[in-house]
Amino acid sequence: MSIHIVADKNSIADTVLLPGDPLRAKHIAQTYLTDVVQYNEIRGMYGFTGRYHGQRVSVQGTGMGMPSFSIYAQELIDSYGAKRLVRVGTCGTMSESLKLKDVLIVQGADSDSGMNVSRFGTYQFAPTATFSLLMRAYENVKKMGIGYAVGNVFTSDQFYDMKGDEKKAIAQSVGTMAVDMETCELYTLAHLKGIEALTLLTVSDSLLSGNQIAPKDRQTTFDSMVDLALQTLFD
């Protein structure tokens, strides 16, 4: 049994959706899954297992940032045998071609985090998605009639960053499209531990204009991304 997820070993599926917000985990479970069982509530970080079109799937909140995400992802992999992890979160766009409510299918992650420096020293590891999941997501999103892009994300350690403008300029100069706080760790763990991983991000705000999705519209837009994730995994 792990420390932050306390559940029977067989209560978690080998495929897990990972929203940061535990209330979004609850929403996904209630909206998309049948035969739902809640397996975790430690620290209010809810986890659920149910079925999507007969296929077993879990949904686990992870909190914000790479350190919090890493705890839940590693426990899912090491203690519960998770084999496919898909992050379903939000991001801020820094690209003119990625608009509010669009979905970013993340192929790779830049970062300013010290976590991989601690792991690899001066070796500059480039964390990337599992190609088969990336391609299935791309093929599915083209049929859905929603805005999308495929590209890199900048995974930042800081939400409020005094050097944010400087880092944004560097990210834009190499074509990075958006910023989040978790994907670099997901993709790194996937390569280290031999599992499949993908990040899908709904654009909730713009670092260019300062515009944001209205709170009443966020849930519907988020649902389109979850539809994409489940179709990619199971259809």
pLDDT (0 to 100) of residue 214? 83
Residue 3 pLDDT > 70: yes
Residue 205 appears among annotated catalytic residues: yes
Q: Which of 116, 118, 138, 119 is nearest to 127 (CA)?
A: 116
CB distance 93 to 207 below 8 Å: yes
Q: Which whole-number Å values give the CA distances from 205 to 49, 95, 132, 178, 219, in the listed order?
A: 30, 11, 29, 10, 14
Residue 218 pLDDT > 90: no
Active-site entry in 14, 205, 223, 227: 205
For the chain, domains (ranges, CATH) are: 9-234 (3.40.50.1580)
User: Would the pTM count as exceeding 0.75?
Assistant: yes
Per the prediction, the chain carries an average pLDDT of 95
